Amino acid sequence: MSAAFEAPSQAAPLLRLILRAIGWCGLGLIAVAVALSDFLAHAPAGATGAGPMLDAPSSAHPFGTDLLGRDLLSETLHGLSVTVSHALLGAVIAIVLGGLFGAVAARLSRPLGLTLRAVIGVFAAIPALLLGILLIGLTARFYAPLAAGLAAAPLAFVRAFDRVDTKSTHAEYARATGISATTLLRRDLTYEFRDTLATVAARALAAVTIILSTVSFLGFGATPPARDLGLMIAAAKTSYLHAWWTAAFPAIALLILILCARLAAGLDESERP
Partner 1 sequence: MLGLLGAVVVTAVISAIALPYAHGLAAFLTAVGARLLSFARLNFGTSAISGLPAMDELGQRIPATLALVLAGTGVALIVGVPLGLLFGAGPLRRSAAPLMQIVAAAPVFCAGLALAYGAAHLLHWPVSINLPVTNAAPIFASNVRDLQLAALPVLMVGLAGAAAVQLALRRAAADSAHQSYRTGLKRMGLSALEIEWIYAVPQVIAGLLSSAGEIMLALLSATVVAEWVFHRPGAADLFVRAVALEDWNMAALILFIFAALTLVIDFLGRIGAYALANEGTPS
Which residues contact partner 1 by CB under 8 A?
1-8, 11-12, 15-16, 19, 118-119, 121-123, 125-130, 133-134, 136-138, 206, 210, 213-214, 217-220, 230, 233, 237-238, 240-241, 244, 247, 251, 254-255, 258-259, 262-263, 267-270
Rounded Cα distance between 71 and 52, Å, is 9
Contact (Cβ atoms closer than 8 angstroms) between residue 69 and residue 126: no
Contact (Cβ atoms closer than 8 angstroms) between residue 188 and residue 161: no
Closer Cβ to partner 1, 19 or 47, answer by number: 19
- Closest distance between partner 1 and the C-beta of residue 202, in Å? 12
- Closest distance between partner 1 and the C-beta of residue 21, in Å? 13
Closer Cβ to partner 1, 43 or 133, answer by number: 133
As a whole number of Å, the CA-based R_g of the chain is 22
- Closest distance between partner 1 and the C-beta of residue 118, in Å? 6
- Closest distance between partner 1 and the C-beta of residue 170, in Å? 20
- Closest distance between partner 1 and the C-beta of residue 180, in Å? 28
How is the chain split among helix, strand and coil, in percent rounded to 5? Answer: 70, 0, 30
Residues in CB range of 244: below 8 A, 6 or more apart: none
Contact (Cβ atoms closer than 8 angstroms) between residue 231 and residue 221: yes
Rounded Cα distance between 271 and 151, Å, is 21
Rounded Cα distance between 157 and 121, Å, is 9
- Closest distance between partner 1 and the C-beta of residue 114, in Å? 10
CA distances from 24 to 27, 81, 157, 172 (A): 5, 17, 25, 37
24-63: b (≥16 Cβ within 10 Å) or e: bebbeebeebbeebeeebbbebebeebbeebbebeeebeb
